[in-house]
């Protein structure tokens, strides 16, 4: 699994979301690298990382565990936030702090859980992915930024970064989507007992900001910040503010 290491200081792992790669953090990491040693990962089948076999959440977490320092802070976005929480639950003594951006304990809507996407929507998305993954990935990018004033510029940037020189592997997209569908840590989230910062956007069309509020209510001592105008990628649209929030949370602001 490919990890790019940049900067010096406190070790921080950055985990991207579905369909992307560590490149999503390129601009953000320029702000963070002065005081932190960043481990920027490409999930299997995305970016420069080959697929792993088997490709299940526990296998993924074990692979990450082999490649990073024993004590680390994790910043996870979207699916990356779910992986970050699962990582801490499996290796509770290995994580100093968590930052979950636009994430959720359960992506799929279920009885008693209204803050996910419908099973019908998700099933249709999976089917479209199998038929034409490039078109489906493009739709996914647009969904993340549909409320943004700069959506055309951001969409072009996303397509160039993640469908250009180094596109994801179709099987990697499928396997990561299965993980996204399977993860449900609602019953385990009370066991997260380290400093946790939750960042979300009210206009997020993928991860409902109310899921972030629910997480905040269950993770003792957690902090939360919700952008009124942000969608799914606040660390891109509101880069400086996200950086300041994280730096303050980590005690270096």
232 flagged as catalytic: yes
**For the chain, what is the total number of helices (H) and then of strands (E)?**
10, 7
Select which of 204, 207, 212, 222 is catalytic: 204
216 flagged as catalytic: no
Outline where DSSP puts E strands in 16-102: 36-41, 72-77, 95-101
- Chain length of the chain: 253
Nearest to 198 by CA among 8, 189, 179, 71: 189
78 flagged as catalytic: yes
Select which of 16, 88, 216, 232 is catalytic: 232
Neighbours of 200 (CB within 10 A): 28
Measured CA to CA, the distance from residue 208 to residue 65 in angstroms comes to: 29
- The pair phi, psi for residue 115, each rounded to 5°, is -100, 15
Select which of 29, 78, 200, 212 is catalytic: 78
List the catalytic residues.
78, 204, 232
């Amino acid at each position: 699994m490919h990890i790019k290491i940049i900067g010096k200081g406190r070790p921080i792992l950055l985990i991207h979301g579905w369909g992307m790669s560590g490149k999503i953090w390129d601009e953000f990491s320029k702000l963070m690298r002065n005081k932190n040693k960043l481990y920027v990962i490409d999930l299997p089948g995305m970016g420069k990382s080959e697929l792993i076999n088997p490709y299940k959440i526990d296998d993924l977490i074990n692979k990450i565990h082999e490649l990073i320092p024993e004590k680390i802070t994790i910043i996870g976005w979207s699916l990356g936030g779910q992986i970050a929480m699962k990582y801490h639950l499996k290796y509770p003594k290995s994580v100093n702090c968590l930052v979950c951006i636009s994430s959720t304990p359960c992506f799929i809507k279920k009885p008693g859980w209204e803050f996910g996407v419908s099973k019908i929507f998700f099933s249709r998305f999976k089917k479209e992915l199998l038929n034409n993954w490039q078109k489906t990935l493009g739709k996914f990018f647009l969904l993340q930024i549909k409320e943004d004033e700069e959506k055309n510029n951001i969409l072009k940037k996303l397509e160039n970064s993640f469908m250009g020189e180094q596109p994801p592997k179709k099987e990697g997209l499928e396997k990561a989507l299965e993980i996204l569908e399977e993860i449900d840590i609602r019953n385990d989230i009370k066991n997260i007992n380290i400093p946790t910062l939750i960042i979300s956007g009210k206009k997020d069309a993928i991860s409902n900001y109310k899921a972030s509020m629910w997480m905040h209510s269950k993770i003792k001592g957690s902090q939360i910040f919700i952008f009124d105008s942000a969608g799914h990628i606040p660390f891109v649209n509101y880069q400086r503010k996200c950086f300041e929030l994280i730096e303050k949370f980590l005690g270096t602001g």
